[in-house]
């Protein structure tokens, strides 16, 4: 009897299983999220919202939606770079840009890469994505072809100088030891790391000064056209330049720029804010293997960085020492201590009130209560220089920088610098699938290089997982998307799906906007690239 009974069961069971799978796949999966709400009395309390859970296919699509990859072939070398971003805000407040300036063969190239981390809106970061690289290029051109300053330049300096940084000094320039110049090309201004670093600083601070001055000029032009005996502030709320000038000044953005000068074999990283640049330096051994040295190329510039806190206190009266940085934030409000825009921390209280009445009918956000002696925030970057080892130098027997990662702080909130170098190193080595976190250090060994102060804690545990628990995921062809996936859950698909399913504005309490650019190079042309990758 039993022998006869199992035969129909074999038929019924697959049918039932298929029906169950169809039913569950058609059902919208959900999850509960604790959220903070405010009642009619203004008091906050916790509640629960049930949210739809994204499928893994939708998660994959979102991670790869803004991902792109590019390559530039030059004699003896193949430059590659990838970019990806995932938003927590709506719209995304981050921005990225890149530009490759090719010069005649033998003169080398200039490769620029930037990531911008906007806050309070996307207006400043989007503007920087269009003009920051060009501003640096123009300043570098002036370095090579200096022009005598005009009387107009002097007037601009007199008018807008107080709006620029107090920090543009050698303290904010870190130059690596370099060989003595042996040729006319090497001794040119463009080959002098200190002069180039200062030119980058000048470009940053001058651009920020122009950004802050733009609405002031619009107001000044309007006042010029009003009767001389009038004391009324003109209504410029409908002026065509009202929002285009005010919004980039009032919102803010950090900026991180990497410049690779292949002619003089120099790498410059300019950091304004709390984005971070990290390099992976390949150090081969005698057996043909090797390790990745982790080089942190920038400091996270927040009030939690002791050097930044000390700098800011030194620039203001002693009676403000307790207020300049409060709870790790500028005047208790802004987290990055350096940024473009953020005019609330740079304009005087009187100027802010006047511009608010003129452009926004008084509806502009009020100045910080502790504002006394602005500016408190500067756009002047800290510039780090190091020598760039490239073919045809003998990079096979000594350490050579092989990749750079530039990312907004949303990535560094979740991953350490060591994690990022291991993840990119493993990606370049061709690792695939789910790799236990505890195994990756042995598969992709790293050593710590010269470190800078990191103002933010990295690696926040998710769902009870410790630093070595869980698995990394090696499933994305794009290195930038690969890093973002692992920042938000890696091979833990449940955590990954839940985190990316949280919509704006709720998402901002659980993750930040993330933008990542990875730059790497491979020796030879297209035909030789595969052989090089196999050796890493």
Q: What is the C-alpha to C-alpha distance for residues 488 and 411, in angstroms, rounded to an integer?
A: 9
What DSSP state is assigned to residue 304? Answer: T
Q: How many CB atoms lie within 10 A of CB 227?
A: 7
* Element housing 15 (H / E): helix 2-26
pLDDT for position 186:
54
Q: What is the C-alpha to C-alpha distance for residues 336 and 471, in angstroms, rounded to an integer?
A: 32
Rounded alpha-carbon distances, angstroms, from residue 174 to 255, 267, 474: 18, 12, 35
The answer to whether 275 touches 410, Cβ cutoff 8 Å, is: no
- Looking at the chain, the whole-number percentage of residues with pLDDT higher than 90 is 60
Q: Which two tokens stand for residue 458?
A: 């990295």
pLDDT, block means (10 residues), the chain with 536 residues: 38 45 58 83 82 95 96 88 97 96 77 97 97 95 70 44 50 75 60 94 96 94 76 85 93 98 94 96 84 93 92 94 93 96 96 90 85 96 91 60 95 94 96 96 88 54 55 97 97 95 93 97 61 43
Q: Can you say how many angstroms the Cα of residue 13 is from the centroid of all Cα atoms in its chain?
A: 53
pLDDT for position 463:
46
The answer to whether 385 touches 174, Cβ cutoff 8 Å, is: yes
Condensed to tens digits (0 to 9), the pLDDT of residues 209-254 reads 999 999 999 999 888 877 766 667 888 888 999 889 999 999 999 9
The three-class DSSP label of residue 51 is: strand
Q: Which two tokens stand for residue 436?
A: 């236990």
Q: Dihedral of the CA atoms 122, 124, 129, 134 (nearest 10)? A: 170
The three-class DSSP label of residue 405 is: strand
Rounded alpha-carbon distances, angstroms, from residue 107 to 4, 264, 342: 84, 9, 39
pLDDT for position 166:
53
Alpha-helical segments (H) within 251-377: 306-314, 321-324, 349-360
pLDDT for position 147:
64
- In the chain, helix, strand, coil percent, each to 5? 35, 25, 40
Rounded alpha-carbon distances, angstroms, from residue 268 to 94, 112, 128, 276: 22, 10, 18, 13
Condensed to tens digits (0 to 9), the pLDDT of residues 125-147 reads 999 999 999 999 999 998 877 66
The answer to whether 411 touches 483, Cβ cutoff 8 Å, is: yes
pLDDT for position 398:
64
> Where in the chain are the domains?
56-535
pLDDT for position 528:
46
End-to-end C-alpha distance for the chain, whole angstroms: 64
How many Cα atoms occupy the beta-carbon half-sphere of 504 within 13 Å?
Answer: 10
pLDDT for position 106:
60
Q: Please, which residues bridge with residue 407 across strands?
A: 276, 516
pLDDT for position 468:
54
pLDDT for position 380:
97
Q: Dihedral of the CA atoms 77, 79, 80, 85 (nearest 10)? A: 160
pLDDT for position 331:
96
The answer to whether 505 touches 437, Cβ cutoff 8 Å, is: no
The 10 Å CB-count burial string (b at 16+, else e) for 178-204 is beeeeeeebeeebbbbeebbbbbbbbb
The three-class DSSP label of residue 107 is: coil
| Bridge pairing between strands 173-174 and 382-387 | parallel
Residue 342 burial (10 A CB sphere; 0-12, 13-18, 19+):
buried
Q: Can you say how many angstroms the Cα of residue 185 is from the centroid of all Cα atoms in its chain?
A: 33
Rounded alpha-carbon distances, angstroms, from residue 313 to 310, 317, 373, 536: 5, 8, 11, 46
Q: Dihedral of the CA atoms 313, 314, 319, 322 (nearest 10)? A: 20
Alpha-helical segments (H) within 325-478: 349-360, 409-412, 417-428, 440-443
Q: What is the C-alpha to C-alpha distance for residues 179 and 191, in angstroms, rounded to an integer?
A: 11
pLDDT for position 523:
80
pLDDT for position 185:
52
Residue 299's nearest CA partner among 272, 329, 267, 259 is 272
Check if CATH label 3.40.50.970 holds for domain 56-535. no
What DSSP state is assigned to residue 328? Answer: T
The answer to whether 69 touches 427, Cβ cutoff 8 Å, is: no
The answer to whether 257 touches 112, Cβ cutoff 8 Å, is: yes
Q: Which two tokens stand for residue 112?
A: 């620029």
pLDDT for position 172:
87
């Amino acid at each position: 009897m039993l022998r006869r009974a199992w035969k129909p069961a074999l038929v019924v069971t697959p049918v039932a299983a298929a029906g169950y799978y169809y039913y569950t796949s058609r059902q919208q999966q959900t999850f509960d999220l604790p959220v903070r709400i405010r009642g009619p009395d203004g008091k906050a309390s916790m509640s629960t919202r049930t949210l739809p859970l994204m499928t893994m296919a939708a998660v994959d699509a979102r991670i790869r939606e803004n991902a792109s990859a590019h390559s530039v072939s030059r004699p003896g070398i193949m430059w590659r770079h990838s970019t990806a971003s995932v938003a927590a805000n709506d719209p995304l407040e981050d921005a990225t840009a890149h530009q490759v300036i090719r010069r005649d063969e033998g003169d080398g190239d200039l490769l620029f890469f930037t990531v911008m981390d906007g806050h309070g809106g996307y207006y400043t970061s989007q503007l920087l994505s269009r003009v920051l690289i060009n501003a640096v290029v123009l300043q570098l051109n002036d370095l090579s072809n200096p022009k005598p300053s005009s009387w107009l330049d002097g007037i601009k300096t007199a008018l807008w100088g107080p709006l620029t940084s107090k920090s543009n000094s050698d303290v904010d320039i870190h130059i690596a030891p370099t060989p003595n110049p042996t040729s006319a090309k090497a001794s040119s201004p463009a080959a002098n790391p200190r002069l180039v670093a200062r030119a980058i600083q000048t470009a940053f601070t001058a651009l920020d000064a122009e950004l802050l001055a733009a609405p002031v000029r619009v107001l000044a032009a309007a006042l010029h056209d009003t009767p001389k005996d009038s004391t009324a502030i003109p209504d410029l709320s409908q002026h065509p330049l009202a929002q285009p000038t005010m919004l980039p000044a009032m919102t803010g953005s950090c900026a991180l720029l990497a410049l690779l000068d292949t002619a003089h074999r120099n790498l410059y990283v300019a950091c304004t804010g709390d984005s971070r640049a990290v390099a992976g330096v390949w150090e081969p051994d005698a057996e043909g293997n090797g390790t990745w040295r982790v080089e942190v190329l920038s400091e996270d510039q927040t009030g939690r960085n002791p050097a930044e806190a000390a700098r800011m206190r030194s620039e203001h009266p002693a009676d403000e020492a307790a207020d300049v940085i409060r709870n790790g934030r500028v005047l208790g409000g802004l987290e990055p201590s350096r940024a473009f825009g953020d005019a609330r921390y740079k304009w005087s209280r009187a100027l802010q009130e006047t511009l608010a009445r003129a452009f926004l009918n008084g509806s502009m956000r009020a100045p910080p209560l502790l504002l006394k002696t602005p500016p408190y925030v500067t756009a002047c970057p800290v510039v780090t220089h190091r020598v760039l080892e490239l073919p045809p130098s003998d990079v096979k027997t000594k350490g050579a920088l092989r990749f750079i990662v530039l990312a907004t702080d949303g990535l560094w909130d979740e991953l350490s610098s060591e994690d990022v170098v291991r993840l990119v190193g493993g990606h370049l080595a061709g690792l695939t699938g789910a790799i236990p976190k505890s195994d990756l250090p042995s598969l992709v060994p790293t050593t710590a290089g010269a470190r800078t102060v990191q103002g933010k804690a990295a690696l926040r545990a998710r769902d009870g997982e410790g630093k070595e628990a869980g698995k990394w995921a090696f499933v994305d062809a794009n290195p930038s998307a690969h890093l973002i996936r692992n920042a938000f859950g890696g091979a833990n698909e449940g955590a990954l799906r839940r985190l990316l399913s949280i919509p704006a504005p709720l998402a901002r309490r659980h993750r930040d906007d993330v933008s990542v650019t990875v730059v790497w190079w491979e020796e030879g042309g297209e035909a030789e690239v595969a052989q090089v990758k196999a050796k890493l």
